[in-house]
Structure 1
Amino acid sequence: MRWKPRVASRAKERANISFFIFIMFFAVFGVIVLTELLLLERPSPSSRLRFNEDAQGWEGRTETAGEGEGAPPPARAPLDAVWQPVAGTRFRFYVYSAYMERRTVAAVRVVAATKTRGADPVVCRLFMPDNRTITLKARVKPIRENWNLKYSATYVLCLLRDSGVKARDTVGAAISVVAAAAPNRPPTNLLTVLDTDPKSGIEETLHVCVKPFHYSYSRDEWLIEWFELNRLLGANHFYMYNESLSAPVSCLLEHYQKQGLVTLLPWKLPIVSKIEIRTEGQFAAFNDCLYRSMSSAGWLLVIDVDEVILPRRERTLTALLTALRAAYNPPSKAPSAFLFRNAFFYLRWEDDAEAPAPLVTARKTRRWAAPHAIKNRSKYALRPRDAVELGNHFVWELAPGASAVGVPTDRALLHHYRIACEYGGMQCLTVPSTVDRTAHRWAEELMQRVSAEKKQISKVCLAN
């Protein structure tokens, strides 16, 4: 009977050994997976361009790829406002547009999109009109409002220091962004360098910038009202980005394009919206709009197509902005950006019985009693020449010496005509509210303009 305990003991030993092997298997497997992840995210050790989130957003240790000197430019012509890939990078890297920069640093500033942290190092190849090819050091700087998603709107600064080229001389040249790890690879992108120097006589011009249209945007009737009200308020040009539009809105925008009122740019960024990058890469659009308007706009208004900014005393926004700056003495102390507080005008609230016209802005006059604080849902107008980096609700970076201030609600308010409540449901309709009929000041003239535009648009769009 003594054999029974020995058998039980051996069975227990085998069970312990099996459990130990099981644990060791998963431990080794976990180490392998962790090592693979670390190697995937870590920049190549051969590269000497290192991203660093310091107070400036990046550090400038770079490497110049001398092998590219004298290389001929690509056979095709340079493009503008088209997302083009950067070849040879480990992570997706796209470039959209390029601009002359000489306010903060002598450079070509490229609007791009790539990985938020640990972006691939790149260099820039500049093709000058005199047939010189110059390889420039580059700094990759993510635009700050990226919501900590994997990919971000980005600036690539192609630095002209030690190149012998002045910033002004780059206008009209072509530039490519190339992976530093493969500088001899033929470039897969070529951009035209655009001018940013302000032209004379633009001080009182007001241009409007909006984020990309997506989800086949289809509110054509409201868009006519929005256009015509902003034109009454002094806007004379609009920059828009097309990810997807309905057929009626496409026809409507074509109508305004023919009048010279709209610059409509394609926007097909191959990064997954809201999962990998903030809504359609909208911060790349805002900042492209900033530099695209810089040479021709005295003021740039950054709003969405469900928002308008209405002054309380003046008839136009240009008059308001002029008056706000004139209040500062000396004029050199006047702010370069003005922020407007947001108030929701929910479309689910009842119509105003005193509405003087069948317009959204005339019918929907009930709003939040207490507008949001500055930088929370606010929108803004600014001098483009004095801005470096734009966000959605405020300016992230101004040029040295420039400043931004909030505008009191007794001077102007951002009217936000929102369809749905903020977080679903109907709870937004129970917030304290008040009736605000400021929009009625423009209702009669606006109705006339909307009716006239609808007649013209219907003739063209119905015929198509």
Structure 2
Amino acid sequence: MIHCGKKQIGAFLACILIFSSIFFCYVKDVQLQNNTARKNSPQAATTTASPVIQPCRGKPAQNAITPLKGNRTFIISPYFDDRDRKLTRVIGIVHHKNVKELYCWFCCQPDGKISVSKANIDVHSDRFDFPYGATDIICLEPGSCDPTHVSIHQFPHGDIDQLPRFEIKNRKAEPSSVDFTLCISTMFGNYNNVLQFIQSMEMYRILGVQKVVIYKNNCSHLMEKVLKFYMEEGIVEVIPWPIDSHLKVSTNWRFMKDGTHIGYYGQITALNDCVYRNMQRSKFVILNDADEIILPLKHPDWKTMMHSLQQQHPGAAVFLFENHIFPKTVSTPMFNISSWNAVPGVNILQHVHREPDSKKIFNRRKMIVDPRKVIQTSVHSVLHAYGTTVYVPMNVALVYHCREPLQASLPRGALIRDTTLWKYNSSLIMNVNKVLHQIVL
């Protein structure tokens, strides 16, 4: 018989404890490795892992205007459009004579494969004889492809890695987040009509606008501060529009055979992009300039006006409003607010005399449209739409347009005094003063 002392028994028990701990850790490690192996097995992947989306190749487009090789085609942005057929509509600018063939290189998901199809090049009819015009590059999407990005190329073959890549917008249907979005195109010529711009912005807000999209070529330093203020307020979205870096632009809407490439800083292209950009996020899109305001005469704001017009014209897509000139050369001493005198620009409250209709001058129109029904738009009319067009009578609303006179020879007595704007004067003055107080001019 072996006799063990207390020290020997204690040492023996300690050895058993250490051995048990080592064995327990080993078992846990084996179980962990087995679990990991099960998770990574092909059978497990088919039931728990989501498919891996392959990245699209090509160079991501960084700017609002992207020239293709040769500088005869310029891409703005592609938009998904399934209203008639499943297609991608690329808003662009092309030379109507030199660009005859383009191809759409789709990046299909989830495998990232490239599908190439020939594009239909649809130059808008309102080109006004300029060599370059707003263009829809229409790409029919292949049935087996769910593209997220597209590249445009002159050929059906080449190196995709060298082509600019564009995300296809409007891919997912979304409910409208705002009632009214206003598109202003284009701001150029070192724009500095600060007071009238602020007044217009505040009138838009009073009437019901929630978003203003501005395609900005250039403006004054002071105007930059104003834009920054409204951007921080969340109401203004500025789209950089450096079109004169690519083309010789004209400030005229008609081609004057002066070597220019495109009219009025490419405003028709900008307007079409703005319609598609806001197609899903806005119930209505308003197309007018910064010196124009659609003034309701029968209703307090746009929402009640449009509700009434839609009830009367349920199938309408486009509502056209007559443009009337209120010459900034003819003023009234009313609302001469001293704190506004130091701000550059026109005080619209002092200009309430409009030119009468003339047989020699056509009253052009500006628009409120349902963007989901518009296919192509020009400046004063929609070229193609899925609905009807309504000419809104002048007793319902008119476009207040404060600018240089068209009938400059008319005496003051021949003008029509129209103080419709003044019914908003109290709210307008208060709002403009609030903005001027917040912007250090």
Q: TM-score, normalised by structure 2?
A: 0.78
Alignment of 1:255 with 2:229, yes or no, is yes
Per-residue deviation at 1:96? 1.2
Alignment of 1:153 with 2:134, yes or no, is yes
Counterpart pick for 2:409 among 404, 427, 432: 427
Q: Deviations over 1:62-111 (max 9, x none)?
A: xxxxxxxxx984454344x5211222x5x611101111011133211111
Q: What's 1:245 paired with?
A: 219
Counterpart pick for 1:139 among 109, 120, 123: 120
Counterpart pick for 1:180 among 130, 134, 155: 155
Secondary structure class of the residue paired with 1:134 = strand
Counterpart pick for 2:104 among 124, 127, 133: 124
Alignment of 1:108 with 2:96, yes or no, is no
Q: What's 1:206 paired with?
A: 180
Per-residue deviation at 1:151? 0.8
CA distance in 1, matches of 2:304, 2:361: 22
Counterpart pick for 1:326 among 311, 325, 334: 311
Q: What's 2:378 paired with?
A: 391
Q: What's 1:55 paired with?
A: none
Per-residue deviation at 1:361? 2.8
Q: What's 2:319 paired with?
A: 338
Structure 1 gap ranges (5+): 1-70
CA separation of 1:277 and 1:158: change in aligned 2, threshold 3 A: same
Per-residue deviation at 1:117? 3.2
Secondary structure class of the residue paired with 2:205 = helix
CA distance in 1, matches of 2:91, 2:413: 41
- Greater Cα offset, 364-373 or 260-269: 364-373
Alignment of 1:93 with 2:73, yes or no, is yes
- Greater Cα offset, 406-415 or 101-110: 101-110
CA separation of 1:372 and 1:296: change in aligned 2, threshold 3 A: farther
Report if aligned partners of 1:178, 1:187 keep a CA contact under 8 Å in 2.
Answer: no
CA distance in 1, matches of 2:411, 2:165: 51
Over the aligned positions, Cα root-mean-square deviation in angstroms equals 2.6
Report if aligned partners of 1:341, 1:372 keep a CA contact under 8 Å in 2.
Answer: no
Q: What's 2:286 paired with?
A: 301
Per-residue deviation at 1:183? 4.1
Report if aligned partners of 2:324, 2:363 keep a CA contact under 8 Å in 1.
Answer: no
Counterpart pick for 1:191 among 133, 141, 166: 166
Per-residue deviation at 1:408? 0.7
Q: What's 1:273 paired with?
A: 249
Q: What's 2:328 paired with?
A: 347
Alignment of 1:220 with 2:194, yes or no, is yes
| One-letter amino acid matched to 1:366 | H
Per-residue deviation at 1:415? 0.7
Alignment of 1:84 with 2:59, yes or no, is no
Per-residue deviation at 1:398? 0.3
Secondary structure class of the residue paired with 1:447 = helix
Q: What's 1:404 paired with?
A: 389
Per-residue deviation at 1:200? 2.7
Identity of counterpart residues, as a percentage?
21
Structure 2 gap ranges (5+): 1-53, 251-259, 341-345
Counterpart pick for 1:310 among 253, 275, 295: 295
Q: Which structure has the highest strand share of the two?
A: 2
Q: What's 2:400 paired with?
A: 415
| One-letter amino acid matched to 2:320 | L
Q: TM-score, normalised by structure 1?
A: 0.74
Largest Rg, 1 or 2: 2
Secondary structure class of the residue paired with 2:294 = strand
CA distance in 1, matches of 2:413, 2:182: 31
CA distance in 2, matches of 1:85, 1:101: 23
Q: How many residues align?
A: 369
